[in-house]
Amino acid sequence: MMDKYKNQYGVITPKDMYDFDNKSIKLGITSLELMENAGRAVSDNIRKNYKKSHVLVICGNGNNAGDGFVVAKNLREANWPVKVMLINDTVFSKDTSSMLERWGKNDLIKYSIDEIYSAEIIVDAIFGSGLNRPLNSFNLEVVSSINASKAKVISIDLPSGVNGETGDILNSAVIADSTVTFIRKKIGHLLLPGKQFCGEVYVENIGTQKSIIENFKFNYFENNPNIWSKGIKLPNLYSHKYQRGFSVINSGKLGSTNAAKLAAESALRIGSGVVAICCVRECINSFTASKSSLIIKESNNIVQFIQTISDPRCTAVLIGPGNGINDHTYNCVIEARKLMKPCVIDADAISVFKNKPNVLFDIIDQDCILTPHEGEFERIFPNLKGNKIERVKEASKISGAIIVLKGSDTLISSPDGRVIINSCAPPTLATAGSGDVLAGIILGLLSQGTDPFLGTAAAVWIHSISARLFGFGLIADDLVDLIPKVLNTLFLNDENKKQVKNKL
């Protein structure tokens, strides 16, 4: 499934883009043509999305400036009022110099705050996606002026100041209303904080040959149902409940049972045929208000927990939500993995291995999903350095497991180096119990035999869209009830009705 859509939803780095351009040149397209195509894509986008307005193109000194000269020339030829402000006077590349000649060296204006403030549309052609150094004091002033203006701002490739490889802001960045990039989105378009500076991102073709894209091995992807939807196992007429997955959840003690309850109800809603909660005797009554579909297993000690998960029909286990950092939580993980049960290891079940992370890494594999937020991640991977992408990739490699590094830009990483970036989560997900719901959705899909990596990506997306559907005022309980709506939208629309009908 991933192979079919890897090109469409692949995400690249600035270096990848540089390599694409070099390969295109070797196959016959000139670098000047690539620059002209990029500039034309931006000018066409502006003409399509905005009415004729006073445009100011602000150019730096790299190829991004060359793209800006093309934008200005094309808009002028379409009778738009255009000015070009050159802010970094230096020696240009041959292609950028050629595009400046076409615009006209005598038709440049110098930096002026008044010119910036009087523009209706500003095209940011200062720096491209390859910027990896902080802005100097003058460029900081220019960026500050752009951000203080009332103009609509369109950035070429990436807003100046955003690192295309990491999404980091070097020391300041242009706040764009939209960004026009080329071939594929860059990591910087999807990861915070860069993501919030990009506005709406348009991806345009600049003539890169299809063979280059088709033969490229993508390691990064933007989360989308087309990547994983056909891997979701829908019920058919021959299904019975245990064929649809038997999920087991370890509950916390009295006062901490709601986490397990949210996870259990989420696992049911996502399609797990049977969901059982293991809890001590005094907690059994805590679940009387839960969904009647839940099975409650008395589990006062590790022996009784083992008895429940030893059932050969048990297909996946969740440990951690509300469990507490204690010996029982630790032993539940150990025993579940002794039985080789696919596991979702969340919250306290991660933190309990803070002082013995290698013990955990020795018993987990690609059938296990770790779901840490940043704090939990640092507890078991304290020595990892680098940006967010590098750290999560290394964590998956070290542990051998699927890692879900939770946040507004959640990353799902596989031990083989693939990373899916989830860019659709709303800020309303920052609410108590939200992570328990996510753990339950992951568990439910894992129990049904969904590929652990792609199933986890599906869970993260469904979790995010459920929250977006509800809007403001969201609490974790609301997410559980919206899971069926998201599933029905995915699988009962016109495009998928035939697929569902064939499976029923």
Structural domain for 205, as ranges: 11-218
Report how many domains make up the chain.
2
Both 88 and 189 in a single domain?
yes
Both 190 and 328 in a single domain?
no
SS3 411: strand
Annotate 242-276 with DSSP letters as a single string. GGG-EEEEE--STT--HHHHHHHHHHHHTT-SEEE
Cα–chain center distance at 4: 19
Helix axis angle for 476-491 and 258-269, nearest 10°, is: 10
Residue 331: inside a domain, yes or no? yes
pLDDT of residue 3: 62
Of 202, 218, 234, the domain-final residue: 218
Q: What would the two tokens of residue 376 be? A: 């939990």
Tens-digit pLDDT profile for the chain (504 aa)?
556 666 799 999 999 999 999 999 999 999 999 999 999 999 999 999 999 999 999 999 889 999 999 999 999 999 999 999 999 877 789 999 999 999 999 999 999 999 999 999 999 999 988 788 899 999 999 999 999 999 999 999 999 999 999 999 989 999 999 999 999 999 999 999 999 999 999 999 999 999 999 999 999 999 999 999 999 999 989 999 999 999 999 999 999 999 999 999 999 999 999 999 999 999 999 987 767 899 999 999 999 999 999 999 999 999 999 999 999 999 999 999 999 999 999 999 999 999 999 999 999 999 999 999 999 999 999 999 999 999 999 999 999 999 999 999 999 999 999 999 999 999 999 999 999 999 999 999 999 999 999 999 999 999 999 999 999 999 999 999 999 999 999 998 654 555 544 544
Residue identified by tokens 């200062």 is 126
In whole angstroms, give the CA distance from residue 167 to residue 191.
5
pLDDT of residue 288: 77
Both 350 and 246 in a single domain?
yes
Of 162, 185, 218, the domain-final residue: 218
Both 212 and 232 in a single domain?
no
Both 175 and 237 in a single domain?
no
Tally of CA atoms within 13 A in the half-sphere of 279 that contains its CB: 27
Both 94 and 195 in a single domain?
yes
pLDDT of residue 113: 97
Residue 317: inside a domain, yes or no? yes
DSSP H helical ranges for 175-292 = 187-190, 210-214, 225-228, 258-269
Residue 204: inside a domain, yes or no? yes
Both 398 and 262 in a single domain?
yes
CATH of the domain at 452: 3.40.1190.20
Residue 3: inside a domain, yes or no? no
Both 125 and 234 in a single domain?
no
φ/ψ (deg, to 5) at 265: -65, -35
CATH of the domain at 36: 3.40.50.10260
Q: What would the two tokens of residue 62 be? A: 């790299």
Both 242 and 190 in a single domain?
no
Residue 1: inside a domain, yes or no? no
* Nearest C-alpha neighbor of 423 from the set 149, 185, 66: 185
pLDDT of residue 503: 45
In whole angstroms, give the CA distance from residue 456 to residue 462.
10
Beta bridge partner(s), residue 295: 276
Of 184, 218, 252, the domain-final residue: 218
Both 275 and 402 in a single domain?
yes
Residue 4: inside a domain, yes or no? no
Both 363 and 396 in a single domain?
yes
Residue 6: inside a domain, yes or no? no
Both 200 and 231 in a single domain?
no
Residue 2: inside a domain, yes or no? no
The β-bridge relationship of strands 220-222 and 200-204 is unpaired
pLDDT of residue 363: 98
* Nearest C-alpha neighbor of 455 from the set 439, 467, 466, 432: 439
pLDDT of residue 497: 52
pLDDT of residue 493: 66
In whole angstroms, give the CA distance from residue 244 to residue 315.
9
